[in-house]
Amino acid sequence: MSTNRIDIGELGHSLGYLLRIAQVRAYDQFFDVLGEYGLRPGEFSVLWTIHQNPGARHGVLAETLCIKLAHMTKTVRRLEERGLVVRSIPDEDRRAVVLSLSAEGEAFISEHGQLFFGSATYLRHDLSASEEKELVRLLRRFSGLSG
């Protein structure tokens, strides 16, 4: 393959392009470090949120995480097959499904939660601690998650 260098100009400083590049990079690093556990990023987010909100309902969880109900069904199904999540039907509304972690699911969170959120995160980059904090703040503001 030719090694001619070419120039992407303003594209390399456009927010849309950079968000895409950064997200793909984060995704790749997730699988490098956590692929061995067989969980995908979205599955971990769901697992974590059930841990934070035991007894949460299927639909509320989907709404909070901006996941379509149909997709949530498949995600939870996988977590259930893996023995990490327990589904149950409450007597007060037998259409609903409420979710909680199995003992194994809680153990998974205790053991690997630090890899997602802690100082030993799966993300590798050259940002200082204060730069990372600022990046988090700016992304939250960009996405309308904070004033």
Partner DNA sequence: TATTGTTATACTCTATAACTATA
Partner DNA sequence: TATAGTTATAGAGTATAACAATA
Amino acid at position 77, single letter: R
Q: Taking CB within 5 to 8 Å according to partner kind, which of DNA, a second copy, none is near residue 53?
A: a second copy
Q: Which is nearer to a second copy, 60 or 86 (CB)?
A: 60
Tell me which of a second copy, DNA, none is bound by residue 82, counting a contact when its beta carbon lies within the kind-specific cut-off of 5 to 8 angstroms.
Answer: none
Backbone angles phi, psi at 70, to 5 degrees: -60, -35
108 binds, among a second copy, DNA, none (CB under 5 to 8 A by kind): none
Give the footprint of a second copy on this chain (CB under 8 A): 1-4, 6-27, 30, 41, 45, 48-49, 52-53, 56-57, 59-61, 63-66, 96, 116-117, 121-123, 125-127, 131-132, 134-136, 138-145
Report the C-alpha dihedral over residues 134, 144, 116, 76, rounded to 10 degrees. 180
Binding partner of residue 132 among DNA, a second copy, none, CB under 5 to 8 Å per kind? a second copy
Q: What's the min distance (Å) between Cβ of 71 and a second copy?
A: 13
Rg (CA), the chain: 19
Produce one character per residue of 44-56: b if its CB has 16 or more CB atoms within 10 Å, e if not: bbbbbebbeeeeb
Query: What's the closest the beta carbon of residue 72 comes to a second copy, in angstroms?
Result: 12
114 binds, among a second copy, DNA, none (CB under 5 to 8 A by kind): none
Taking the least distance from each CB to a second copy, the nearer of 59 and 83 is 59
Least Å from the CB of residue 77 to a second copy? 20
What does the alpha-carbon distance between residue 144 and residue 66 come to, in Å, rounded to a whole number?
A: 14
Q: What string of DSSP letters covers 21-66?
A: HHHHHHHHHHHHHHGGGT--HHHHHHHHHHHHSTTEEHHHHHHHTT
